[in-house]
Amino acid sequence: MSVIEMNHLTKQYGKSRGIKNINLSVEEGEIFGFIGPNGAGKSTAIRTLLGLIYPTSGSAAIFGRNCTEHPEIRKELGYLPSEVFYYDNMKVIDLLKYSASFYKKDCTKRIRELAEIMDLDLKKKIDDLSFGNKKKVGIVQGLLHEPKLIILDEPTSGLDPLMQQKFFDLLREENRKGATVFFSSHILSEVQKMCSRVAFIKEGEIIKLEKMSTLQENNYKRINIEGVSTISKEAFDISGVSRLEVNGTAASFIFKGNINTIMQRLSETELRNISIEEPDLEEIFMHYYVKED
């Protein structure tokens, strides 16, 4: 059974924002990444899926049921919104208990465990917490009832690297216990580390849906080189290279494919300097667009 299903899901807001005709299904036990730049429609898609906003057309369901018609299906859902705001006058523990009270099971033990893992002080007022700590409250709030589906909207923003690591370990653990995880991000590397499949969204449309293994085979590298003498454009105009820019003795491009191919080609050129790095997401998106045109 598909845990998440979106069929021709469309949500229009005003003129430009929103999502267009999204089709997506996520199977039980997957860790699914939803990736795109800010404003691409990630939050809109998630909110429409969960029935927090209503679609203009199309349909969405979790565990085979529409959230608006069957709000009780959200018992199995743990959700972390992208921006966390909580009832200000509450202490962390009060908020977590309030959140737990919606699920009709005793979550006290799990709250303690999660707070310990995330290093969260339960006695503080939410008002007094930093952004990162509020995010932790959001994470604990989303996981405390051991949901079968965990949906997180930009979960790592505001967390320091150590916390991000702990958080991802936590998600892996939940996934190992059987939970399906769906999270959005604009950082490719964290999706790469975690996910089994990934969907790229831009301007409200899914432009690519790929298995992580495929993506990893198609390792994207941004390569900048500086040659001893002038570099000819033809030398690097091979399959897998895109966005090639040659400027005298310097050149830069994105390479996708077998690393050895490009290494051989590089070794034929006498270099003064080289850097090989992970391209950022925007560049990969640009890459897709170039290919589609």
Partner 1 sequence: MNMFWRELTAGRKALIIWSICMLLLVVSGMGKYTAYSSGGAGSDIFNQMPSSVKALLGIGTLDVTVMSGFYAMLFLYIELTAAIHAVLLGSSIIAKEEKEKTAEFLIAKPVSRSAIVTSKLLAALAQIVVLNLVTLISSILMVSAYNEGKDISGEIILFLISMFIVQLLFLTLGALLAAGISNPKSSGAAAAGILVGSFVISKITDLSDQLAVLKVLSPFKYFSYNRIVEGDGLNAFILLLSVLLAAGMAASAYFWYGKRELKL
Where on the chain is the footprint of partner 1 (CB under 8 A)? 47, 50-54, 71-75, 77, 79, 81, 83, 85-89, 98-99, 101-103, 141
Between 151 and 223, whose beta carbon lies closer to partner 1?
Answer: 151
Q: How many CA atoms lie within 13 A of 162 on its CB side?
A: 3
Between 98 and 289, whose beta carbon lies closer to partner 1?
Answer: 98
Q: What is the nearest approach in angstroms of partner 1 to the Cβ of residue 28?
A: 19
Q: What is the nearest approach in angstroms of partner 1 to the Cβ of residue 246?
A: 47
- Cα–Cα dist 195/33, whole Å: 6
Between 51 and 204, whose beta carbon lies closer to partner 1?
Answer: 51
* 212, 198 Cβ separation under 8 angstroms: yes
Between 104 and 177, whose beta carbon lies closer to partner 1?
Answer: 104
Between 74 and 197, whose beta carbon lies closer to partner 1?
Answer: 74
First to last CA, the chain: 36
Q: What is the nearest approach in angstroms of partner 1 to the Cβ of residue 61?
A: 15
Q: Which amino acid is at 39?
A: G
Q: What is the nearest approach in angstroms of partner 1 to the Cβ of residue 75?
A: 4
Q: What is the nearest approach in angstroms of partner 1 to the Cβ of residue 290?
A: 35
- Cα–Cα dist 46/51, whole Å: 9
The alpha carbon torsion through 15, 35, 58, 68 (nearest 10 deg) reads -100
CA triplet 195, 197, 202: central angle to 5 degrees? Answer: 105
